[in-house]
Structure 1
Amino acid sequence: MSLPFSGPKPLLWDISPPVHAATPVFPGDTPYQQKWAASIGPGCPVNVSEITLSPHVGAHADAPLHYSEGGASIGDTDLAPFLGPCRVIHAIGCGPLIEWAHIAHAIDDTLPARVLVRTYARMPVDRWDPQLAAYAPATVQALAERGVRLIGIDTASIDPADSKQLPSHMTIRRHDMRVLENLVLDAVDEGDYELIALPLKLVTADASPVRAVLRALR
């Protein structure tokens, strides 16, 4: 349950977790690593870093290539689903699967084409959670039937961490939907916002980090 907010509400919410060497990653993924290729000093006017990471570190957008052989890379994926009106729905403490009953209270005829579900009271930005909550495939199917083009969640996957069949990913593949994972929705009330979460134009990659933000509707 969200605590009441006192004072003026913000106009912009940063819903991206911090990315650094201690950022948790899906087991087997490449963690964030950074080293300095150049440093300010005699003969060098700039700092230049070199980074290595999985494109699934932090808030990120999956490309169809991630879960579909021959699917589009993130650089060839339409940007439109990642920008526009969205609805944040709370299903805090629900799981292991987010069923339709957990989000039905926030579904009506004005549902935008983007839906983000908050499952954590406080998103664990400092540790891997093997018990992460995920979408039930039937919930994804029902959202698709209502015109939803993008779903998001504050966990590392829309499928359970130990899933090998990835039924929710297969559902978004069938409906050509898009997905955002690892969002931080701790400070976001239920309601409608503008989502801005554009992936990088990584022309051969299976995903991309995003700097995901919500903006108040005017």
Structure 2
Amino acid sequence: MDWLDLTTSITDGMAYWPDNAPVRIRRTLSMADGAAANVSEISMSVHTGTHVDAPLHFLADGMDAAQLNLSHLMGPALLVAVDSERFISQADIAHLQLAPGSRVLFKTRNSDREWSLEPFDPNFVRVGADAAAWLRAQGVVCVGVDYLSVGAADTHHNLLGAGISVIEGLALQHAAPGEYELLCLPLKIAGTDGAPARVLARRIDSR
């Protein structure tokens, strides 16, 4: 099976969390202007596009992005479609059979559009605190979502406080629900509370 790229492209002026730094990309050296090579620079928040939250994001003494447990970010993962208007609740996902060590990616109405190219949407679908607590109780090790945030502070605390890896900003527009092999590699940036990541997934044949 082919690998699917679940990474949102980083583009100049793309959607970003309102109190974070906007994305700015510019060419600093150009062959068209006589330079020997093209060179670009980028300025953005580490919580831009597809990225992984480090525990330090919401825990004062939490690990930084260079210390993330990569084993949580690679392996079998379940992609689940959830028809929630605003919050993914425990009732929405309590039917899932999740063993300890599971990875879960949530596809919502956020994926009905190319959200990264539109203005920030404060009404995006997010994981509610009750759902986060339930996922924590099931022993999941990774939760992924299709917008810039998994949820409010209590949701982050429930997940990051339990050592659960959080992937935000996934591009799930063309991914069907089902079981996948997941590969998520965040940049190893020391001292930061998150890091951009490239995320690939390959459908697991259930036959």
Same fold (TM > 0.5): yes
Distance 2:14 2:182 in 1: 23
Once the 2 structures are TM-superposed, how far is the Cα of residue 63 of structure 1 from its aligned partner? 0.5
Q: 1:16 aligns with which of 7, 11, 16?
A: 7
Q: 2:88 aligns with which of 54, 75, 98?
A: 98
Unaligned segments of structure 2, at least 5 residues: none
Does the residue aligned with 1:71 lie in a helix, a strand or coil? Answer: coil
Verify: 1:142 aligned to 2:142, yes or no. Answer: no
Percent sequence identity over matched residues?
Answer: 28
How many residues in Structure 1 have an aligned counterpart in Structure 2?
202
Once the 2 structures are TM-superposed, how far is the Cα of residue 44 of structure 1 from its aligned partner? 3.7
Distance 1:90 1:191 in 2: 9
Once the 2 structures are TM-superposed, how far is the Cα of residue 42 of structure 1 from its aligned partner? 8.0
Verify: 1:26 aligned to 2:17, yes or no. Answer: yes
C-alpha change, 1:12 and 1:112, in structure 2 (3 Å) is: farther
Verify: 1:169 aligned to 2:156, yes or no. Answer: yes
2:13 and 2:24 in contact (8 A); partners too? no
Distance 1:42 1:19 in 2: 25
Which residue of 2 is the match for residue 37 of structure 1?
A: 28
Structure 1 range deviating more: 193-202 or 170-179: 170-179
Deviations 1:191-212 (A, max 9, x none): 1101111101101111111111
Distance 1:206 1:142 in 2: 24
Distance 1:11 1:111 in 2: 27
Distance 1:90 1:104 in 2: 13
Which residue of 2 is the match for residue 211 of structure 1?
A: 198
Q: 1:88 aligns with which of 79, 101, 110?
A: 79
Aligned AA for 1:55?
V
Structure with more helix by fraction: 2
Aligned AA for 1:174?
G
Distance 2:61 2:51 in 1: 20
Once the 2 structures are TM-superposed, how far is the Cα of residue 147 of structure 1 from its aligned partner? 2.1
Once the 2 structures are TM-superposed, how far is the Cα of residue 185 of structure 1 from its aligned partner? 1.2
Verify: 1:47 aligned to 2:38, yes or no. Answer: yes
- TM-score, length of structure 1 as denominator length: 0.85
Aligned AA for 1:101?
A
CA RMSD of aligned residues (A): 1.9
Does the residue aligned with 2:11 lie in a helix, a strand or coil? Answer: coil
Once the 2 structures are TM-superposed, how far is the Cα of residue 109 of structure 1 from its aligned partner? 5.4
Verify: 1:190 aligned to 2:177, yes or no. Answer: yes
Distance 1:137 1:187 in 2: 27
Unaligned segments of structure 1, at least 5 residues: 1-9, 161-165
Distance 1:191 1:146 in 2: 19
Which residue of 2 is the match for residue 158 of structure 1?
A: 150
2:99 and 2:139 in contact (8 A); partners too? no
C-alpha change, 1:89 and 1:45, in structure 2 (3 Å) is: same
1:95 and 1:134 in contact (8 A); partners too? no
Once the 2 structures are TM-superposed, how far is the Cα of residue 13 of structure 1 from its aligned partner? 1.5
Aligned AA for 1:201?
K
